[in-house]
A and B are shown apart, each in its own frame.
Chain A
Amino acid sequence: MSRRAPSEAGEQLPRSEENVPRPVNGEAINGESKEAVALGVGNRACLVEQEPVLATRPRLRGLLPVPPEVEADITLQETEHPMTPEYRNTLRDWLTVQHYFSDVEIAFRRTPRGIEVLAAGFAEIAAFRRTSTRAERQGVVYGVG
């Protein structure tokens, strides 16, 4: 559980445990062992499927087209698990974003017709935020494909 009070926002954890012996974890640097934190890696757990290599990948912005692979996956899943239109659309949007923007940061909107990508990659998102007003960014979601 967190030991920090709300007022400690932005502060770093106290280092009162410096003198307590602890197991060596990781490589020693300058004579001191580095402490490492084991964090989950979510779906990055090294499951990478080989994809067909495209000669040129289109620069997709705006409303994303649903790739045939996504439609095929949804159809396959539907044979075992019936889906409401709402669930189907949510699944379609997520799989489409994953298909085009795997591991890429994107700024997007969820629309009834699908995902509208406004910017992709840190530099482009930074430019988007510099050149848009707060009102124009209403409803924008930030995520990773």
Chain B
Amino acid sequence: MSRLVVPLLGKTLRATGDVLLRAELDLFIKTNAQTWEQVVFLVDPGSEITTMPSAQASLLDIPLPANPVPGLQHAQTGLEIRSGVLRVQVAGMDSTEYLFPCYFVGDPNQPARPTHAAAVPRNLLGLTGVVDKVRISFDGKPAGAVAPYGNLIVEKQ
């Protein structure tokens, strides 16, 4: 299937009563052993580029560059960045393999332990090198009981 429709999920923020929405996408990522690992990514159009913690990539045997990019750091955390790619299939779509540029954040041998959540590097699906391969759109119109808050739509370009 070259089109995937994923319902948006809602969580009630007790302090305000607002229902906050989230879109997640599972990617199968190819490893050094040519196997696939299924990893959840938050779909984040506010991210310029896809990110993944280096330590998680290392843990899952996902290829990543040996050295960080000199003079480049993750703005929120100050952590080093390795510039590489993820070879992925989108779970729920056909078996097309995509190469998504990815910044691997932090030390591959040491998981980041920041003091607050905003500084935790995360699996974020960003725009660069992704939206030219798959069209990602958000349709917040409720689609009945199947998708009360609408859908994330992913289509092969």
Contacts and interface: CB of A to CB of B under 8 A. Distances in A.
Say whether A and B bind each other. yes
Interface of A: 1-2, 4, 6, 8-13, 15, 26, 32, 34-49, 73, 76-77, 81-84, 86-87, 90-91, 94-95, 98, 102-103, 105, 122, 125-126, 129, 134, 139-144
B56 A39 contact: no
B75 A44 contact: no
Nearest to B113: A122
Contacts of A98: 11
Contacts of B1: none
A41 B118 contact: yes
A129 B118 contact: no
Contact of A37 (B26, B103, B129): B103
Interface residues of B, number: 70
B72 A2 contact: no
A51 to B, nearest CB: 10
B84 A43 contact: no
B148 A142 contact: no
Nearest to B70: A15
Contact of A10 (B13, B63, B70): B63
Contacts of B56: 105, 122, 142
A74 B140 CA distance: 19
Interface of B: 7, 9-15, 19-20, 22, 24, 26, 35, 37-40, 42, 44-49, 51, 55-56, 59-60, 63-65, 67, 69-76, 81-85, 87, 99, 101, 103, 111, 117-120, 122-124, 126, 128-129, 132, 142, 144-149
Nearest to B97: A6
Contacts of B67: 12
A9 to B, nearest CB: 5
Contacts of A40: 44-48, 124, 126
B146 A43 contact: no
Nearest to A37: B75
A142 B39 contact: yes
Given A39-B47, A40-B46, A94-B9, A129 B59 contact: yes
A87 B70 CA distance: 45
Contacts of A86: 146
A126 B59 contact: yes
B117 to A, nearest CB: 5
B117 A48 contact: yes
B28 to A, nearest CB: 10
Contacts of B99: 6, 9
